[in-house]
């Protein structure tokens, strides 16, 4: 279990966090445009590292922990042909992933240590 915890934490920080968040945003947008529930289900799976590493069981962090349920609901709405619910259920995840991207970029540490030749 310790390995899973470490992998999920590493996938939500630094350069891997940027890549996973970007891929998730692209998959969600493609799923909504093309109306494919499978892509939204894959995007929900890619939200899991952020929900696990950055979520908690009290306060606002509980909302973050439950974040993968929104793309799953959106995938269900896509499969039923309801475009309004599919777009509205995915908006909180879009907003949170954009926040995470901004937070990673503004922290200055993206997982690459500078090397200085002395």
Q: Which residue has the tokens 């109306």?
A: 35
Residue 104 — very low, low, confident or very high, per pLDDT cuts 50/70/90?
A: confident
Query: Is residue 91 situated within a structural domain?
Result: yes
What confidence score (pLDDT) does residue 71 get? 96
Give the C-alpha separation, 93 to 99, whole Å.
10
In this predicted model, which residue has the larger pLDDT, 104 or 28? 28
Residue 76 — very low, low, confident or very high, per pLDDT cuts 50/70/90?
A: very high
Query: Is residue 80 situated within a structural domain?
Result: yes
Q: How many domains does the chain have?
A: 1
Query: Is residue 116 situated within a structural domain?
Result: no
Domain of 94, in residue numbers: 2-107
Long-range CB pairs of 85-89, under 8 A, 24+ apart, other chains included:
86/32, 86/35, 86/40, 87/32
Query: Is residue 118 situated within a structural domain?
Result: no
């Amino acid at each position: 279990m310790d390995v899973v915890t470490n992998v999920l934490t590493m996938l939500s920080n630094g350069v891997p966090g940027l890549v996973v968040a970007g891929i998730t945003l692209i998959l969600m947008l493609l799923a909504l445009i093309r109306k494919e529930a499978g892509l939204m289900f894959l995007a929900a799976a890619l939200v899991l590292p952020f929900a696990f590493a950055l979520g908690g069981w009290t306060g606002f962090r509980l909302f973050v922990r439950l974040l993968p349920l929104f793309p799953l609901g959106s995938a269900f709405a896509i499969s039923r042909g309801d475009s309004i619910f599919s777009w509205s259920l995915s908006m909180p995840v879009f907003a949170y992933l954009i926040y995470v991207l901004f937070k990673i970029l503004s922290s200055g540490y993206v997982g690459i240590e500078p090397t200085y030749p002395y």
